[in-house]
Chains A and B, each alone.
Chain A
Amino acid sequence: ETVMTQSPATLSVFPGERATLSCRASQTVRSDLAWYQQKPGQAPRLLIYDASTRATGIPARFSASGSGTEFTLTISSLQSEDFAVYHCQQYNNWPPKTFGQGTKVEIK
C-alpha cells in the first residue's frame, strides 16, 4: 500500500499570505495525484488532478506541482473561504487509492 504523508498537520496563516502544503508518497505515484478541499460539515471538493491541473472553476491562486513522491499545493494569497482542510490522494498504485491524513489551514 502506498502511504501518503501530508505536512504540516496544521498551518496557521494570515489572510493574504501564501500557504504551501506538502504531500509525500511512500513510493512513486508518477503524476497520479489529486488535491481536495474540505470545509467543516461539507463534502470534499476536487481542486487539482494529475498533480498540477486545476479542476473546473478553481481559482488561479491555487497551484500545485510535483511528481514521483513529492508534491506541493500552493495557495498564493489566502482568502477567507480558503481556510479548510486539504487532502491529497494517489490513484497510481491501487487498490487502495490512499489519502493523506489532511492539512488544516487555519487563520493566524
Chain B
Amino acid sequence: EVQLVESGGGLVKPGGSLRLSCAASGFTFSSSSMNWVRQAPGKGLEWVSSISGSSRYIYYADSVKGRFTISRDNAKNSLFLQMNRLGAEDTAVYYCGKEIGTGSYVDFWGQGTLVTVSS
C-alpha cells in the first residue's frame, strides 16, 4: 500500500525558514518523480516543485524559485522541501505527491502538512 506522510509544518514568522519532510512507503521511491503541491486556505491547488527519481531534474514554480529547495534521500525513502524567506503568501497546506513517469500527474497524495506564516 502506497503511503506518503508529510511532517514539519507549523507556525513560523515572516522571513523565517521551515523544512518539510515526506516519508514514502509501498512503492519504489527511487524510481518515482515526486512533487510538492500547496493549497492556501480556501483556495485552489498550486504546484510548487518536482524532482526526478535520481534528483537530476528539478523544477520550481516562479513563486518559490530562489527561496525553496526540493531534495530527496532515496536511501531513506524521503522527500524534503526547504523553505526560506517565508512570507504570508506561503501559508498553505503542503502536500507531497507521487508522480507517474516524469512530467505527468500525481497519482497518490499525502495527507498534507499546514504551514502558517504569521507574526
Contact = CB atoms under 8 A, between A and B. Distances in A.
Interface of A: 32, 34, 36, 42-46, 49, 55, 87, 89, 91, 94-102
Given A95-B59, A96-B61, A97-B50, A49 B107 contact: yes
Interface stretch (B17-25, B39-47, B73-81, B83-91): B39-47
22 contacts: A34-B106, A44-B45, A44-B95, A44-B106, A44-B109, A46-B105, A46-B109, A49-B100, A49-B104, A55-B107, A87-B45, A89-B47, A89-B105, A94-B47, A95-B61, A96-B59, A97-B47, A99-B45, A99-B46, A100-B44, A101-B43, A102-B45
A66 to B, nearest CB: 15
Give the interface size bracket for B toward A. Answer: 20 to 34
Contact of A46 (B47, B59, B103, B108): B108
Nearest to A49: B105
Interface of A is mostly: loop
Nearest to A100: B44
